[in-house]
Structure formats: C-alpha cells, structure tokens
Chain A
C-alpha cells in the first residue's frame, strides 16, 4: 500500500524550502522574462511584424514559458534529491517505509509545482507587454503539467546521477538549454530552411514547445498527437530509469 504520508511529507518539505526563498525563486525568472520581452519583443520584434499572423511578442510567450518550465523543472528536480545526497540525509528516505514511487512523486511533484507556479507568473507578466489569447486552455494546462512533470523526472535522474555540484549543473547547461533554444522557443520550425527544419524535428523539445504553442494559437510545427506522444514517452522512460536506480541502488546506496 502506497505511503501517502511520505509523499505529503516530502512534497511539503520541498515546497517549504521554495517558500523560504520565495523572492529569489520568483524574481530571477520574472526578471529574465521581462528582459526577453524587451529584447525579443520590443527590439527584434519591431522588425519581425508577425509569425503566421501572430505578433512576434505574443508568439514567443509559449516558448518563454516552456523555456522557464524546462529549466526550473530540471533545476528543482535535480537539486531536490541531490541535496540530501550531499548532506547525508538521504539515509532517511532509504530506511523509511516509502518506496521509489513515493519518494519520486514527492520530489518530482514539488519540483513540477514550483516550475508551474513560475510559468503562471511569466504568463501574468506577459499580459503587461502583449495581448495573449489561449485557444485551448485545457490543453495548455495539460501540456504545462505533463512537460513540467517529465522534465522534473529528468532533473530527478540528474540529481541521482550527480556526484558533485559541477555534474549537477553541466547537463542543464550543456544539454537542456541548447535543446530549448534550438527547439523553436523563439521561432517556428517552418521559418527554417528545409534541411534545418528536418534537423530541428530530431529535437524532442521542439515537440513539447510545438504542442504548447498549439494550445495557445492553434498552430503547430508538428501534429499535436506527436507532441503528446513525445511527452508521454519521456515520462515512461524516466519512470523506468528511476525505478531501476532505486531497485539497484546505483549512485544511491554507494
């Protein structure tokens, strides 16, 4: 029987840490978003009138939200589990009557919640700069939740794998950020030459951003079903990997 008390305890513990440093947690992403709007929306956006009929300022809102969700999910997910490993308190999670599923849901649920909260703040911030209309609110929420969960799972794996703070930073910096920037956060894949459009479609993040943008503007680079499949596949692969790590104790009980 699932230990729901353990999930609640881990979730509450992680959210408390977030709220203890609430201003640092919120100020940085909101400030970055404002800068993106100033640079991409006002400066560059003035020269790009519209993308497929949507003002450039509005066009980048889903991409900016995705950029933040992905970065925050990975960062929160990885730090959440790495910190107990670093401080030595990881033993508590391993001796408690809580299995891999409770520990994962607790940490990843908190990481995803923080990312979603910040994404909403960015959406609210964007209303001050551009007019944004959400064509499919339910699907917008669905993509937001699923993507935040998927990348928090990825961050959780990075935190389990990392042996030091350098390793904790390197994957988000060297892999996630380039994938997001090359995944159509600030442009449509259809704006690229055919060869680079084909290359861009090898990037899994493009499918997430495309699905999310479809929820806003009813336009996508790839079919929405493929976007959903991509995020579901990522969740499945990450869950399988985490289960394997907990069962074998790799990097956890060493």
Chain B
C-alpha cells in the first residue's frame, strides 16, 4: 500500500514556548486508520494543524498524496478533510447548506447527490433542512464530519472526536469511523482513550512532549502494554503465598488479604480458570474478584521511564 502521508523530521517551536513538536517522522498508508495518543499538550493537535495548514512548521517536511504541504499546498489540501476538536458551526445555517459551503470552499463542483449519500451515511439526511443550532451535540459532531467529507477527501483528520461525549455517542462515533474505514478513507485521529484507539486504529502512535515515542500496529502495542491485573480478595488472611501459586507469578499483598495476577487479554489462555481451580483445590476461600486494565497513563509511565532510562 502506498504512503499517503509522509512526515519527515517535523518540528514546531513557538516563539515564547516549549517545542510543541520535536523531530517527528512517520508514514501513513492509504486506507489505514492511525490513532495518535497523548496527554494534553503532547503535540497531537499541533501535528494535525501543521498537516492541515493551520500552523506553520519551523522544521521538516510533510507530503500528502505526494504533494508538499507548503510548496504545493493547494493540491495537498484538496486531499484533506478536518474535523476539529471544538464543535464550530454557523448556528443559523442548515445542515445541507453547511455541507454545500464546505464543498464549494474546496473548489469542488456542486453535487447534491453525493452530499445526500454523505448525509445518509451519517444519519443526517432527515435533518438536512434543520438549522445546526437545533441539533444535539452528537448530531453537530456528525455535521462536522459531513462537512469534512463533503469534497470527497482521501484523508480525514479527526481531532479528539469523542472528547467530552457520553458513552452512547462514543459508540456511535466508532460506528461512523468503521463505516468510513469500509469506504476506504484514510483516517488519522487523536484521542486520550486507549480503548478508543484499540477499537478503531490499525496503528497507534504515542506522542509526549512533542516527541513520537512509538508507532506500532495496534495488536502489537496492546500485546505489549495491554495487560490486565486480576485481584482476588480472600476471606481469610494468608501468611505466605503457596508455592503452587507463586510459581504462576501470583503475588500476595502485604496485608495477606489479596492475591494479584497479571495476564494478557489477547493470549488464548489467560490462566484465570486455572488459577480459580487451583484456589479451590487448595481450599482458599474467595470473597471477591476484580480486574483492571492497564491505563493509558500507565502505558505512558512505562514509555516515559523507558525513554528516560535510555537517555541516561
């Protein structure tokens, strides 16, 4: 698959601030869905803004579909659709007119049949004559996507598409992205949520303090960092962890009331069934069982500490 976005040694240094992007290089193939993960201020939005033309880089190059975003910006921008983080719509404009306007801005000839297809795919066709101010938050976000798709772009940037939305709407957004994936659109999205990246992306990039710490296929990254921790609360205090359990990597808490076990959700055998059977065989009474997935924060801590160790 050919690369549609090539970022080479990209940097952005604001005049009176820290380096927002520091020598970032990456390549994204056609039809791929890439999630950029990172905390606030990591540089995710700066990177998207540079590719889309909102921010001027201080170093490096970006090519979209082979077109340099600075020397051949018109051709590059025609290939891009951007869904911003904030919901920004003209309140008195109708949904259909919003889409028509954006299509016109990109120099595409009027094509209401295509726009109908886009609005239908986003479940907005029934609302085509409604003013945007009358729509719910979820619908407004879909209008932004419709606008971004109105000129039939090859690359779609979604800047935190589920920031501040409820669980139902987040699921709905995932379905929209899944539909776009089936339509062959290349998607680059930013998010805080590991779960979201895991659900949607083919590859995940982690950005922190302007640096791209890694870029890996989702399955590989989740295998590496997507551990779960099982906690077994015991009915009675234990003095030591039985050898049958410690051999399996199970640890006993200092107060002797909890057993802990790390496992990989993606492996065929997590070992949980075996553990519970072993507890029954040893006659250890269990009061409660809970699991916790390693959070993005923990992934970050792991990556950052690795980075610092490497630097030392």
Q: Interface on A for B, CB 8 Å cutoff?
A: 1, 3-6, 8-10, 12-13, 16-17, 20, 83, 87-89, 91-99, 249, 253
Contacts and interface: CB of A to CB of B under 8 A. Distances in A.
Interface of B: 52-56, 73-75, 77-78, 80, 82, 84, 86, 88-92, 97, 100-109, 147
B54 A94 contact: yes
A95 B82 contact: yes
Top 4 A-B pairs, shortest CB-CB distance: A9-B104, A88-B88, A5-B107, A97-B77
Interface centre among B80, B97, B107 (most CB of A within 10 A): B107
Given A88-B88, A95-B82, A253 B74 contact: no
A87 B73 CA distance: 25
A87 B54 contact: no
Contacts, number: 73
Contact of B54 (A5, A88, A95): A95
15 contacts: A3-B74, A5-B107, A9-B101, A9-B104, A10-B105, A83-B90, A88-B86, A91-B82, A91-B88, A92-B147, A94-B54, A96-B102, A97-B73, A97-B78, A97-B106
B86 A92 contact: no
B55 A253 contact: yes
B109 to A, nearest CB: 7
A16 B107 contact: no
A1 B147 CA distance: 24
Contacts of A20: 92
Nearest to B105: A96
A243 B306 CA distance: 47
A89 B89 contact: yes
B78 A8 contact: no
Given A95-B54, A97-B78, A5 B108 contact: yes
A97 B73 CA distance: 7
Contacts of B108: 5
Contact of B102 (A3, A4, A8, A92): A92
Contacts of A91: 54, 82, 84, 88
A232 B286 CA distance: 88
Nearest to A17: B92
A126 to B, nearest CB: 33
A5 B109 contact: yes
Given A95-B80, A95-B82, A87 B104 contact: no
A88 B108 CA distance: 23
Given A9-B101, A16-B97, A92-B102, A4 B107 contact: yes
A13 B101 contact: yes
A87 B88 contact: yes
Contacts of A3: 74, 106-107
A92 B89 CA distance: 10
A12 B78 CA distance: 21
Given A87-B91, A97-B73, 10 more contacts: A3-B106, A5-B104, A5-B106, A5-B107, A6-B107, A9-B100, A9-B105, A10-B105, A16-B97, A95-B53
Contact of A97 (B54, B86, B107, B109): B107
Nearest to A8: B104
Contact of B106 (A1, A6, A12, A83): A6
A125 B90 CA distance: 34
A6 B105 contact: yes
Nearest to A249: B56
Contacts of A92: 102, 105, 147
A13 B88 CA distance: 16
Contacts of A9: 100-101, 103-105
A248 to B, nearest CB: 10
B104 A6 contact: yes
Contacts of B103: 9
A87 B88 CA distance: 6
A16 B106 CA distance: 19
A93 B105 contact: yes
A181 to B, nearest CB: 34
A179 to B, nearest CB: 33
B107 A95 contact: no
B260 to A, nearest CB: 47
A94 B53 contact: yes
A12 B104 contact: yes
A253 B86 contact: no
Contact of B52 (A1, A4, A88, A95): A95
Nearest to B97: A16
A16 B131 CA distance: 14
Contacts of B88: 87-89, 91
